[in-house]
Each structure stands twice: as C-alpha cells, then as structure tokens.
C-alpha cells in the first residue's frame, strides 16, 4: 500500500528520466529484462502501422508481463509534443493527459514521457511530430531505481477496445492468482 501511495504522489512527472529528488527505496533496478518490457517505446499500431515487432504469441506474453509489472496502466491523450536538442541529441517529449480512470495505479495530472534517439519509436515519433497531438494510447508505466535515482520507463500500446479488454482480463487473472 505504501508503494501505491508513493506512486500516486509522484506520477505527475517525467517518464524515462530521474524523478525529482525522490528516494528509490524498495524500487527494483532497471535491468535488461525490465528494458524488454518497459522499453520507452510506442507500439507501431499507435501510428496506424501493423505490428512487425513479433508474433502474436510473443506480443501476448510481453503485454502480460507489462500489465503484471506496471505501476500504472491508463488511457491517455497526447496533449503536446516538443522537440528538445539538436543533431544526435534530439529528444521528443510527449505530454500525456489521462482520459479515463486508470485501469491500474493512480495518477493526478499530466504525465511526461521522453522518446530519445535510441528508442525504436524515435523515427515514427519524428515523422509524426505534432500530428501525434490528440492521439490516444494505453500507457503502461513502471518506476525503477537506477543508480540511486527514481526513474520511470514506459510502453505505449494502441488504445483499442480489444487491448483495453485484454488488459482488464490479465489484471483479473493476476488478482485471482494473488488470492
């Protein structure tokens, strides 16, 4: 419960970066396994492109892992897209506004996520730029301890009724397994 209160108090913050001066007490480290789930990317379906990332079975397993591990699952709308930096240091910051009650966790206000040049989504975000404003997605976010600093990493999935239903079912199974 303490973890959820701490999460609620800190989710109006930047994903994929240090979270103010918070202490990472009890948070897991950001490992290669964690990066496989919360890879700071947006699913290609958000850009109206078919997924070529993996097989449906692999997608299902990874989504289940993300849902199980996420601190926050919420449908959001892209409010603003800003570009920071030049050359190889360009980063896109997306301000996301919740449009529905979270499916998991709590949030109070906008959430900022960053898509950097090493993200597989970078080229898609760069090509869409401000045309992303108004698009909706399902955000799965998790907090980590990276070298003594709290950081947030995310995955954005297409905000389809099928994805939302699938996530709800996975959460129900997780709840049953926990009892």
Instruction: List beta partners, residue 112.
Output: 14, 95
Q: What percent of the chain has pLDDT over 90?
A: 68
* 91, 126 Cβ separation under 8 angstroms: no
Query: Which comes out higher in pLDDT, residue 153 or 50?
Result: 153
Q: What average pLDDT score do residues 107-125 get?
A: 93
Report residue 6's pLDDT band, with 50, 70 and 90 as the boundaries.
very low
Classified as helix, coil or strand, 177 is helix
* 85, 91 Cβ separation under 8 angstroms: yes
Classified as helix, coil or strand, 23 is coil
* Structure-block tokens of residue 126: 């760069």
Name the H helices within the chain: 2-10, 32-37, 56-69, 122-128, 161-178
Answer whether residue 2 shows pLDDT above 50: no
Domain edges within the chain: 2-172
154 phi and psi angles, rounded to 5 deg:
-145, 170
Question: pTM for this structure?
Answer: 0.84
Classified as helix, coil or strand, 124 is helix
Answer whether residue 3 shows pLDDT above 70: no
**d(C-alpha 104, C-alpha 125), whole Å:** 26
Answer whether residue 13 shows pLDDT above 50: no
Answer whether residue 132 shows pLDDT above 60: yes
* 137, 159 Cβ separation under 8 angstroms: yes
**d(C-alpha 78, C-alpha 82), whole Å:** 11
The percent of the chain in helix, strand and coil, each rounded to the nearest 5, is 35, 30, 35
**d(C-alpha 6, C-alpha 75), whole Å:** 21
Q: Which CATH class is domain 2-172?
A: mainly beta
Mean pLDDT, the chain, whole residue set: 86
Residue whose structure tokens are 């995310």: 154
pLDDT (tens digit per residue) in 42-74: 999 999 888 766 778 888 899 999 999 999 999
* 126, 111 Cβ separation under 8 angstroms: no
């Amino acid at each position: 419960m303490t973890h959820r209160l701490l999460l609620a108090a800190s989710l109006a913050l930047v994903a994929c970066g240090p979270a103010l001066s918070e202490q990472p007490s009890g948070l897991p480290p950001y490992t290669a396994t964690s990066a496989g789930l919360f890879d700071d990317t947006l699913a290609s379906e958000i850009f109206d492109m078919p997924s070529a990332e993996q097989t449906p079975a692999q997608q299902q397993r990874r989504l289940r892992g993300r849902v199980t591990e996420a601190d926050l699952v919420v449908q959001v709308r892209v409010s603003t897209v800003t570009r920071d930096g030049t050359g190889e240091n360009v980063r896109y910051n997306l301000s996301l506004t919740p449009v529905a009650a979270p499916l998991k966790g709590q949030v109070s206000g906008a959430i900022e996520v960053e898509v950097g040049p090493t993200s597989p989504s970078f080229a898609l975000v760069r090509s869409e730029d401000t045309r992303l404003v108004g698009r909706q997605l399902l955000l799965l976010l998790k907090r980590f301890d990276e070298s003594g600093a709290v950081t947030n990493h995310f995955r954005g999935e297409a905000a389809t009724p099928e994805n939302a239903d699938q996530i709800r079912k996975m959460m129900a199974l997780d709840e049953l397994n926990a009892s």
